[in-house]
A and B are shown apart, each in its own frame.
Chain A
Amino acid sequence: MAHTPVIEAPRARSARRGVGRTNYELYGWLFMRASGVLLVALIFGHLFLNLIDGDGINAIDFGFVAGKWASPLWQVWDLLMLWLAMIHGTNGVRTIINDYAERTGTRIVLKSALYLAFTVVVVLGTLVIFTFDPCPADAAAELLPSFCTA
């Protein structure tokens, strides 16, 4: 070592301390754990119903989705899954960007793209769940769930 590193006294006030200090990183850390536990239940349920139950992935088509979203339970399930997974995943990728993108400009560009993707996907997904029409008038009857013709 050519020089002795200077270690700040533990409670010394650096320029950053006291200026704009918030608890957001603490809330983020807590959210990752709380949402993670909920997401395990939500996603395992989703995977069981869509990939394991019945004919698995072969059963998935427009009628399958329409049948699920006819029930408020699955609307709320999918909405919760969408929001929690997107916030959880966006916060995780934000952490990865902070770890590896060393230049300030790179971090700004990557995080802007991340937050744009978050906004587009969450808004689109939420609109789809709530404005979905299970029986579109101009569609062929055999593609629709059975309750459309009943």
Chain B
Amino acid sequence: MPEAPAGTLYRGREGMWSWLAHRVTGFGIFFFLLVHVLDTALVRVSPEAYNAVIGTYKNPIMGLGEAALVAAIVFHAFNGIRITLVDFWSKGTRYQRVMLWIVVGLFVVTMAFFLPRHLGNVFGGH
């Protein structure tokens, strides 16, 4: 396998950064998923065990972590649709850069809807 020097830039334009962000968010989401299946599996142990662990998800630090998780998922979801359009839509490659800015716009709108609600629940709730 040919070796490339580490830390190089591939062109350094939108395509490279969206590829990198897609990879980083996907990697992070996967490890949360592993933990999330394990914590949910505690419903099979006892109601007390599940409630104790899910209770830790409600503290403010974890609440911020959930906000970051949802941000990662929302970007990965919209950019994944963009990748699919680039691959399957005949004009996809021509509009890949425009579509990235649509992804960013939809991300901002979605987070503007989600963050006040979620942070309100975490910091203002119960």
Contacts and interface: CB of A to CB of B under 8 A. Distances in A.
A52 B41 CA distance: 23
Given A43-B77, A52-B114, A52-B118, A128 B26 contact: no
Contact of A102 (B3, B33, B54, B66): B3
Given A56-B118, A57-B118, A62-B47, 5 more contacts: A66-B43, A96-B27, A125-B37, A125-B41, A136-B47
A62 B51 contact: yes
Contact of B46 (A43, A63, A139): A139
Contact of B44 (A44, A58, A132, A140): A132
A145 B27 CA distance: 35
Interface string B82-126: 011001100000000000000000000000001001100110011
A57 B124 CA distance: 12
A128 B36 CA distance: 13
A131 interface: yes
A89 B80 CA distance: 13
Interface in B27-41: 27, 29-30, 33-34, 37-38, 40-41
Interface of A is mostly: helix
Interface size class of B (residues with CB under 8 A): 35 or more
12 contacts: A33-B80, A36-B77, A51-B121, A56-B118, A57-B58, A57-B63, A89-B29, A92-B30, A121-B37, A124-B41, A132-B44, A139-B47
A140 B47 contact: yes
B77 A51 contact: no
Interface residues of A, number: 42
A47 B58 CA distance: 15
A117 B32 CA distance: 13
B96 to A, nearest CB: 15
A78 to B, nearest CB: 9
A92 B121 CA distance: 33
A126 to B, nearest CB: 10
Contacts of B63: 57
A65 B50 contact: yes
Nearest to A56: B121
A19 interface: no
Given A89-B29, A93-B27, A57 B41 contact: no
A140 B1 CA distance: 60
A33 B63 CA distance: 30
A132 B43 contact: yes
B38 to A, nearest CB: 7
